[in-house]
Structure 1
Amino acid sequence: MSINNKQLLIELDNLLAPQTVKDYCPNGMQVEGKSTISRLVSGVTATQALIEKAIENHADAIFVHHGYFWTGEDERIVGMKQRRLKRLLEHDINLYAYHLPLDIHPELGNNAQLAKLLGINVTGGLEINNPQSIAMQGELENPVDVREFEQRIAHRLNRQPLVEIGGSHAIKTVAWCTGGGQGYIDLAASQGIDAFISGEVSEQTIHTAREMGIHFFAAGHHATERYGAKAVGEYIASAFGLEVKFIDIDNPV
């Protein structure tokens, strides 16, 4: 089975609705390649390593969460950017990238997939009056202590999280934002939520956890964002009959 590259763009835009969110990069087709797509590789970031794997797998397209052309970056096509784009263009590979739209999709998004993986029942957005809330909140089926939840994260993400214990309370309510969403901890704490999960941590995040009494888990930017691109790839395979392969280029951050 195959699909036209412009038709796949239409389908992805219909699925992920990039027009509904303000972002820091262009969402959708970032590099145009061959018109007919039958084999696609999905991954977290459009690194040189992922591109080379896509070439090895004779992929016609790549779907990622982290693409190119970020706000404020050097606009010149030199160095690392030139090498990446050169390989895509040499092999006529389409690059599709969706950043915040992939974080917030209610079923296939990074936040939704992380909740599913960790057994969190989603109750809504953390930004209560924002229907496009990037951060989410939910509940565990049964309360667990901090160390038990730490081991659940470590086992299911295959990565030991950084943990800051914010008190003696068990965890029932949880808020989370994958990737670099640690700034939402203040909002989670102000709502009395038991624990907050993100990918990254900042110096001030720890002080918030300690002083506002909320448990904090930094589970890795890459580790928390593996699952959205994988889920969309599986959707594409099922919906359009394409051959899709998720390739995880490990990143300890």
Structure 2
Amino acid sequence: MNHTQISPTALAQWCDTYLQASEFSDYCPNGLQVDTDTPIENIITGVTASQNLIDAAIEANADAILVHHGYFWKGEPSPLTGMKGKRIRSLMQNNISLLAYHLPLDAHPIIGNNAILAEQLDLEITGALYPHEKHPVGNIAKCDPITIQDFITKVSDKLQRIPTHISAGNDVITRVGICTGGAQDMIEQAAAMDCQLYISGEISERTTHAARELGIDYLACGHHATEKGGIQALGDLIEQSLGLSVRFIDDPNPA
């Protein structure tokens, strides 16, 4: 099957527009991060631009990698040496461009990580975790009354991993705070918004005490596991809209 081709900059412009990337203040550059100036026909998507994903993209003869977690994070060393140098070298030497979208992909109301996770868990998003945000990176959702144990079973089934549960005694839930990835510290805001349960990806030592003392149950469902949905949905949309070949490759991560 022959697919169309597009330049790296044109693909980035399409994604930038759809995700409204310019409206976000982020911890990394969103969009085209490594430009090999090679026409793109075959795209590999993944959660993180790890060396494993790059190697898989090379094996698949991909022209581009599209991820949620790319490179050039605030505060990281600038030199392209060591692990970082190898990754960039692997991309450049194999003519593979890299595009990455962080907060814009978390927040998108249709294909964002929060939106997809809510859909998977039969949650209906009703508002923002922080009401003042124009593009909320955390949400509040409602659900039909369900016991916490039945909800944990649903999470385990949909995400194929058993979440870490910190109980605060909420046996039945109807109002849930949700923010994928490493957003465990938003638990205080979820409690302030009268949620009985807060869902995120990671857990810190302090999260346990916060949940118990704030009276809100917490589920750490996995950073990687909660952020697979958005990039897959974006890849599907690109394939449908632009006629490119897109394939998701999972590089499993227990975190």
SS in 2 for 1:163: strand
SS in 2 for 1:134: coil
- Structure-to-structure mapping, 1:98-247, within 5 angstroms: 98-140=101-143, 142-247=144-249
SS in 2 for 1:43: strand
- Report if aligned partners of 1:139, 1:174 keep a CA contact under 8 Å in 2: yes
What residue is the counterpart of 1:58 in the other structure? 61
User: 2:240 is aligned with what amino acid?
Assistant: S
What residue is the counterpart of 1:97 in the other structure? 100
Does the alignment pair 1:248 with 2:255?
A: no
What residue is the counterpart of 1:32 in the other structure? 35
User: 2:249 is aligned with what amino acid?
Assistant: I
Residues matched between the structures, number = 252
Query: How far 1:198 moved relative to its partner?
Result: 0.4
- Report if aligned partners of 2:170, 2:217 keep a CA contact under 8 Å in 1: no
CA distance in 2, matches of 1:232, 1:20: 18
CA distance in 2, matches of 1:241, 1:35: 17
1:9 alignment partner, one of 2, 7, 12: 12
CA distance in 1, matches of 2:132, 2:100: 28
Gaps of 5+ in 2: none
Q: TM-score, normalised by structure 2?
A: 0.97
RMSD: 0.9
CA distance in 2, matches of 1:93, 1:114: 29
Gaps of 5+ in 1: none
SS in 2 for 1:36: coil
2:24 alignment partner, one of 21, 24, 32: 21
Identity of aligned residues (%): 44
- Report if aligned partners of 1:146, 1:165 keep a CA contact under 8 Å in 2: no
- Report if aligned partners of 1:34, 1:60 keep a CA contact under 8 Å in 2: no
User: 1:215 is aligned with what amino acid?
Assistant: D
Query: How far 1:206 moved relative to its partner?
Result: 1.1
User: 2:15 is aligned with what amino acid?
Assistant: L
- Report if aligned partners of 1:126, 1:187 keep a CA contact under 8 Å in 2: yes
CA distance in 1, matches of 2:176, 2:7: 41
- Report if aligned partners of 1:163, 1:218 keep a CA contact under 8 Å in 2: yes
